[in-house]
Amino acid sequence: MTGAGGQHLLSGRRSVRGFLPDPVPRQDVERILTVARTAPSGANLQPGRFHALTGGPLADLSQALVAAAESGRPPVAEYSYFPQPMPPDLKAKQRAAGYALYSALGIGRRDIAARKAQFNENYRFFSAPVGIVVTIRPDMGKGCFMDLGMSMMALMIAASDLGYATCGIGALANHADIAHAQLGLGEDEMVVCGMALGRADPEAPVNGVRTERDALSVFATLRGFS
């Protein structure tokens, strides 16, 4: 991936939350996952596993996750996705992203019921035809989470290259035990997140949401350059 083509795939990638029902052929899923495994890996440990589901298995998992979410049970995540507590500057970014999403869907700030219903779409994998559960060994260090992140990004870019869209689903970890049991995972796998995969629905208003990224001067320094 070099030149303008690679830049387009990276800059054009978006988190999609509205999918067409078109099935994703098994060979495409296998190709995408195989490319994901080529990401950089410290000591070649290749941390992380990807469990891809479609059809009945995906419907069963989604149903179990939604039932857990709607029951009001407390989160059971095995790791903290966000800093605790969230610093004010990061909280502002989180709120801005949430406002952009709900605004695109016509959901008001005080419409708690609608916001909760939309959040639970995470557990339906946004009705994508393929849902992926991402896991890692619980004894892996923080650096291995970094490597897993690179593998997930490689997955997303590989999917984009084939004309598919994706969305990471960190909320899946809120009910990690449900996913763990539903998939019959062993003790050597900790649920990290989910991912939705499929063709983007061009008519879905939610897919028009674009979050802003920091300017280069905010997150980078360049030294010694002319």
In the structure encoding, which two tokens stand for residue 5, read together? 């083509």
In the structure encoding, which two tokens stand for residue 97, read together? 């992203």
For residue 47, the model assigns a pLDDT of 94
Q: In which band, very low, low, confident or very high, does the pLDDT at 31 lie, cut at 50, 70 and 90?
A: very high
Crossing angle of helices 3-12 and 142-161, rounded to 10°: 110
Residues 13 and 153: their CA atoms lie apart, in Å, by: 10
- Structurally, at CATH architecture level, domain 16-207 sits in 3-Layer(aba) Sandwich (3.40)
Other CB atoms within 10 A of residue 120 CB: 16
For residue 200, the model assigns a pLDDT of 97
More confident residue, 211 or 176: 176
For residue 100, the model assigns a pLDDT of 86
Other CB atoms within 10 A of residue 13 CB: 15
**Entry pTM:** 0.92
| CB proximity list for 9: less than 8 A, separation 6 or greater | 1, 157, 160, 161
pLDDT in tens, 77-132: 888 888 889 999 999 998 888 888 888 888 888 888 988 999 999 999 999 999 99
The overall average pLDDT reported for the chain is 92
pLDDT in tens, 129-175: 999 999 999 999 889 999 999 999 999 999 999 999 999 999 999 99
Q: Give all strands of the β-sheet with 190-198 in edge-to-edge order.
A: 49-53, 130-136, 190-198, 165-169
